[in-house]
Structure formats: structure tokens, C-alpha cells
Chains A and B, each alone.
Chain A
Amino acid sequence: MSTSTLDLTRLQDELRYQGILMSFSGPFSHSIIEELGKAIRHHLESTQVAGSALMDVFAVYIEQAQNVRNYISRLESGPEQTRLAGSGIVVIAQDEQRYVISSGNLLDRTDAPALVAHLERLRSLDKAGLKALYKEQMRQPLNPQGGAGLGLICMARKGAAPLEYALGDVDERYVFFSLRVVI
């Protein structure tokens, strides 16, 4: 092994520069989601962050991680399974007094228009509008995979600013979906 692959200072500098407290990239399991959640809570408790902000960061992290996992497990089948499962990422960063929770995963192009329409609708609503939509969605039945269709609305309600997202070109079948929530 060459010394350059062992030298992590560049990676460390980049993590510091971006304010990244924690990140996970790769296949999510439920136990990984639990463990990282525990770690971020311990970290935030040690920095004396207010209880409400701590629970908001934790809540947004859980919704993002479970969304990534649920979406990928719904798509997973056939030879692309490893690639899809490995595409998930969640990042928790600190930007001065704010916390930024971001997630990403491969997204089937056919799913993109509905997701974009949903996100744009959420971005256009104020807190009262989001609450009304949340209550309406709360009454819809739970789907068998366990998803509630409430996760993005819940994140939008907690966010200090509208949800930000990006779709990056990957190949004919997939785009890469990135989502960013500021607390």
C-alpha cells in the first residue's frame, strides 16, 4: 500500500472545511441507521445544543435515512442491486449556528417528475400550508413497505428554509437525487 492512500489529512481537511460532523455512504441497514442516530445525539448532547434543535436534527436524519433505505429496497432487484444499495449517503454538517442534514441516492428517472412536483409544492407552501398538507397526508393509509409519504412534509415543517434538492445526470436509467434540509 502506498503512503498516499494512508494519508487521511486531505480527507480530514475537506470534512473540516465542509463542517461535516458525520456521514455515512454505502448500504444502509436498520441497525446502521440506529447506531448513527445514537452517535449524532451523543455528539449534540456533548455540545450543549438545545433539546428541541437536537431532536429536530435527529428527526430529519431519521426521515432521510429511512427514505433512502425504503426507496432503494423498493427498487432493488436484479443485477443493479449492489450499485443501488451502495448509492445511499447521509451527511450531517454544522454551518455556524445551523445544522444541515443532507441525503442522496440513485433515483429511477421515471420517478423524478412526481418527486420534483411534490418538492416544488412543498417549497411553495408556508408553515400553515405545510401543516394542512401534513394533516391531510396523515389520514392516507400506510403503504406495505412501511413508508408514510409524510417524511418530506415532516422535513419541510422542521426546516428553517425551504427544502433544497438537485438531480444530477448519471446514465440512461438513473439520476442522482440530493436533498438538503437546514435546521
Chain B
Amino acid sequence: MDSLVIEKSRSSPAIRLDASARSLSISGESYPENAAAFYAPVFAWLKTFLADLEPTTMVQVDLAVRYLNSSSTKVMLNFLDLLEQAAQDGAQVIVNWRYDPDNESILECGQDFSEELTALTFNLVEQSQEPP
């Protein structure tokens, strides 16, 4: 399965979804004009990736976002829900939510998500980030 790579823009994050390394990463800011349209290829890729996943496989997810607008927040929850389902089906899913100590909103956002997810491992990781 091919990797999916989307370069970042001012209002959309960098996305690296690597099937062979089972490593998914999203970093940057997300307030695209139309979040549903922007993330459609990401969901298509993720659904195929998870459908082919062997049980007990480890999947590493790195999320280092500085800002999510409200529609991107909803999209991110849908993204995490698919991973949660995979974890319930036996995959070992580890999500690292990297937040800058100077950015309380994105820490709260990570806390909101972690309260919604139980089967996957959700770590809040403090990490200073370079401005865009």
C-alpha cells in the first residue's frame, strides 16, 4: 500500500501516512476552507489501511497540531474513532498528542479527545514546537 503524503499549507497540516512503517503523523495547523473535502483522501487511505491490518499489529500515531478549527476538530475525532475501532479489534494503537506548553487550547483539545477514547493508548506529550 502506498504512503499518503500531503505537504502543509498555511491553513492545512502536513500529513504523512506510512503503511509499511505503520506510522501516521499529522502536524501543523488545520483550518482549511472545507475540512470534509480536505480530509477525504486521509479517510479513504485510513479505511483501506485498517481493513488490511493484521490483529495485534502496532500502529504509531503522532499528532503535533498547533491549532484545529471546529470542523477540523470534528474530523480529527472521526479519525481517532476509526483508530479506536481498530484498537477494539485487537490492534495496538498508540497515539502521541504533542502539545506546546505555551498553547493551553491544544492541550485541552487533547484532553477532550482522550476522554472519548478508551481502547487505544492516548498520551499527552509536552513538546515545544517551532512556530510555522
Contact = CB atoms under 8 A, between A and B. Distances in A.
Interface residues of A, number: 30
Contacts of B100: 51
B69 A55 contact: no
B74 A142 contact: yes
Contacts of B67: 55, 58-59, 62
B105 interface: yes
Contacts, number: 73
A126 to B, nearest CB: 16
Contacts of A55: 66-67, 103-106
Main secondary structure of the interface of A (DSSP, over half): helix
Chain B interface residue number, banded: 20 to 34
A30 interface: yes
Contacts of A148: 35, 70-71, 73-74
Interface stretch (A90-98, A150-158, A168-176): A150-158
A140 B105 CA distance: 22
Contact of B69 (A50, A63, A138): A63
B23 to A, nearest CB: 26
B33 A146 contact: yes
A30 B73 CA distance: 19
B116 interface: yes
A38 interface: yes
Contact of B105 (A52, A138, A145): A52
A146 B105 contact: no
A30 B106 CA distance: 23
Interface of A: 30, 34, 38, 50-52, 55-56, 58-59, 62-63, 66, 131, 134-135, 138-140, 142, 144-148, 150-151, 153-154, 158
Given A62-B67, A154-B70, 15 more contacts: A52-B102, A52-B105, A59-B67, A59-B69, A59-B105, A66-B69, A138-B74, A138-B77, A138-B112, A142-B36, A142-B74, A142-B75, A144-B36, A146-B34, A148-B35
24 contacts: A30-B11, A50-B102, A51-B102, A52-B104, A55-B67, A55-B103, A55-B104, A59-B69, A62-B31, A62-B67, A62-B69, A66-B31, A139-B77, A145-B34, A146-B35, A146-B36, A147-B71, A148-B35, A148-B74, A150-B70, A151-B69, A151-B70, A154-B70, A154-B73
